[in-house]
A = this chain, B = another copy of it.
Amino acid sequence: LLDIVKKLLAGDKRALSRAISLVEDEDDSARDIVRELHPHTGQAHIIGVTGPPGVGKSTFVDALTAQYRKAGRTVGIVAVDPSSPFTGGALLGDRIRMQRHSLDHGVFVRSLATRGRVGGVSAATGAIARILDAAGKEIVIIETVGAGQSEVEIMKYAHSVVVVMAPGLGDDIQAIKAGILEIADLFVVNKADTEGAAKTARELEMALELRSPGGWRPKVLQTVARMDQGMAEVVTALAEHMAYLKSGQGWRERQVRSAEAELQEIVARRVMTEIFRGPHRTDSSSLIQMVADRLCDPYAAADRLLEIFFSTTKEKP
């Protein structure tokens, strides 16, 4: 194990890959790896990229990576993918994503499958981002599909959050904008060569007007990622945001936000595993049946379950 850690810190790609797998699979050694690497983290600029489906996020991340590589910076990517129920693996897999940068040793891409996880997606994402950080990647990109609550959670691990949009996504876009407005540090209207791009950008600007004054003001940029257009401006805006964070309390606030999200998720996971899958499995299962059969309401069942749980933990040494 220490061998993996040592090799990883020395830049060995295979050791990096192995370490991530262990963390992803929640192997017992995962926590040792995280612990060993923890002091080596804190160097990378962690950039979150999210937005609704169909806006060209993968292409955008690809173009952003190319831009950073041109400047000689190393890049690690964690793509959080909804996984295929058939293959069990990530659908938009590493293979597809790797194409452009497959021969470039300065880029490391990893897809994280969400399938079968009970709320553990974002903690794993955070851990993997930190591993990439420890491995010396100067830029770590976390990419998620969607713009719901789970994406907001995942974005807490990023220092800078980029929300990618595209023209003409319909009415629902209003809702997404609102939900994600608070966490965005930069808006990008991608596919800016299609109709309505200026209008979408204007709407975003207007929505931002409503934010309370003071603090960081997100820019709204336009890109055509497919043709590498506007990407230099994105890199500049991200560097400006980082400088802003470092100039004040922002940097530490982001560290705390990330630590809080991860600690909460690890704790929730442990407690829930214990209650619903561990030694209390029989109790929780029979209470679930009782609620299903309407012999008990869910609040009363929760009371009972917590009572059992705590009275048992009480007797622990």
Contacts and interface: CB of A to CB of B under 8 A. Distances in A.
A149 B114 contact: yes
Interface residues of A, number: 87
Nearest to A166: B170
B172 A54 contact: yes
B267 A272 contact: yes
Contact of A298 (B39, B174, B266): B266
B174 A92 contact: yes
A105 interface: no
Contacts of A82: 147-149, 175-176, 178-180
Contact of A287 (B35, B263, B287, B289): B263
Given A54-B52, A58-B171, A306 B267 contact: yes
6 contacts: A52-B54, A54-B170, A262-B298, A263-B287, A264-B272, A268-B268
A173 B91 CA distance: 11
Interface string A14-51: 00000000000000000100110011011000000000
How many copies of the polypeptide does the oligomer hold? 2
A225 interface: no
A147 B291 CA distance: 27
A47 to B, nearest CB: 19
Contacts of A121: 149
B210 A86 contact: yes
Contacts of A299: 31, 34-35, 266
A243 interface: no
A260 B288 contact: yes
A278 interface: no
